[in-house]
């Protein structure tokens, strides 16, 4: 549970009523997983695939967030915490800063299997949570939340939002000379993932300066994404970003 030190998020916390999911909703989860998993087994970062096993994701039924947290928390201190929906930025950062990942519990309908405008449990858990089992990524994400929670300047937050977008949401990594995906927007969207794997999107080497200069477009497939060589790079980039925030040079 969150405590009094996380007051902004308190109003958004809910209980996941796991027994209330219908067989149809479990079937939608299974269909979504079956649609993307064969590709991910070949093209996802190994840290994502390891995390998938660590947190005990099931391919045929929706995840029980308490069970996920029971496996994840001893590993990296992160919890997958059920929330009612989209959080205001300050509450979102506050949760990340205390290693609670705000996790939606609803699942998309059969009419919108490929795309939902707001994140659902497939995007949040299948897409995001496996990476939280990786210690460096886990530390990076908590640090990101802590720094952003201390900022009120909109331009700075926009720049740091780009860092989140091009790593946590749409990050790629080179492993053994091959491009792999780890960002949740690529992991949970077959279309976005294929677009990148088919070479239809330029991939630049990750650079904090270029990332924070590159605007985010949410209404089209990406023309440019960034690849790291290891997750140490984003961890270090966040520390550089923090120093620049403190010295007003970001
Ligand atoms: Fe996301």
What is the rounded CA–CA span in Å between residue 98 and residue 81? 11
Q: Is 190 exposed, middle or buried (0-12, 13-18, 19+ CB in 10 A)?
A: middle
- Is pLDDT larger for residue 144 or for residue 219? 144
Average pLDDT rounded to a whole number, residues 118-122: 95
Q: Output the pLDDT for position 18.
A: 98
**High-pLDDT (> 70) share of the chain, %:** 98
Residue 2 has pLDDT above 90, yes or no: no
CA of 195 to the centre of ligand 1 (A): 18
Cβ-in-10-Å burial (0-12, 13-18, 19+) of 121 comes to buried
Q: What would the pLDDT profile of 168-187 be if each residue is shown by its tens digit?
A: 999 999 999 999 999 999 99
Q: What is the DSSP letter of 227?
A: E
List, for residues 13-33, the tens digit of each pLDDT value.
Answer: 999 999 999 999 999 999 999
Q: Residue written as tokens 């070949």?
A: 42
pLDDT of residue 67: 98
Q: What spacing in Å lies between the alpha carbon of 121 and ligand 1's midpoint? A: 10
Kindly report the average pLDDT of the chain as a whole number: 95
Task: Find residue 203's DSSP bridge partners.
Answer: 225
Domains in the chain (CATH in brackets) are 15-246 (1.10.800.10)
Q: What residues act catalytically? A: 123, 128, 169, 188
Residues paired with 10 in a beta bridge: none
Q: What is the pLDDT of residues 211-225, one digit of tens each?
A: 999 999 888 999 999
Q: What is the pLDDT, as a whole number, of residue 5?
A: 63
Measured CA to CA, the distance from residue 138 to residue 12 in angstroms comes to 22
Distance (Å) from CA 216 to ligand 1 centroid = 14
Residue 116 CA to ligand 1 center (angstroms) comes to 11
pLDDT > 90? residue 84? yes
- The torsion defined by the Cα of 115, 119, 120 and 123, in degrees rounded to 10, comes to 80
The alpha carbon of 118 and the centre of ligand 1 are apart by a number of angstroms equal to 9
Question: What integer pLDDT is reported at residue 4 of this predicted model?
Answer: 59
Residue with the two structure tokens 């120093």: 243
**Please, what is the Cα angle at 224 between 43 and 85, to 5 degrees?**
75
Could you tell me the distance, in angstroms and rounded to a whole number, from the CA of residue 125 to the centre of ligand 1? 9
Question: For residues 46 and 28, what is the distance between their CA atoms, to the nearest angstrom?
Answer: 26
Model pTM above 0.85:
yes
Q: Helix, strand or coil for residue 204? A: strand
Give 198 Cα–ligand 1 centroid separation in angstroms. 22
């Amino acid at each position: 549970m969150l405590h009094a030190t996380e007051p902004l998020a308190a109003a958004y916390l809910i209980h996941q009523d796991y027994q209330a999911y219908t067989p149809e909703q479990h079937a939608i989860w299974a269909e979504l997983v079956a649609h993307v998993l064969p590709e991910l087994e070949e093209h996802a970062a190994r840290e994502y695939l390891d995390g998938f096993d660590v947190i005990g994701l099931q391919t045929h039924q929706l995840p029980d967030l308490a069970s996920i947290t029971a496996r994840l928390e001893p590993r990296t201190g992160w919890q997958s915490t059920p929330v009612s929906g989209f959080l205001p930025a300050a509450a979102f950062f506050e949760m990340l800063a205390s290693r609670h990942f705000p996790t939606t519990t609803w699942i998309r309908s059969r009419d919108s299997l490929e795309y939902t405008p707001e994140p659902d449990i497939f995007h949040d858990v299948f897409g995001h949570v496996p990476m939280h089992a990786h210690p460096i990524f886990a530390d990076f994400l908590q640090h990101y939340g802590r720094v952003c929670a201390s900022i009120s300047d909109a331009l700075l937050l926009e720049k740091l939002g780009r860092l989140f977008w091009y790593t946590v949401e749409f990050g790629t990594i080179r492993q053994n000379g091959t491009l792999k995906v780890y960002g949740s927007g690529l992991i949970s969207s077959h279309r976005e993932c294929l677009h990148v794997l088919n070479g239809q999107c330029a991939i630049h080497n990750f650079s904090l300066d270029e990332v924070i200069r590159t605007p985010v477009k949410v209404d089209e497939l990406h023309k440019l994404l960034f690849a790291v060589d290891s997750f140490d790079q984003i961890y270090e980039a966040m520390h550089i970003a923090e120093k620049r925030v403190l010295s007003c040079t970001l």
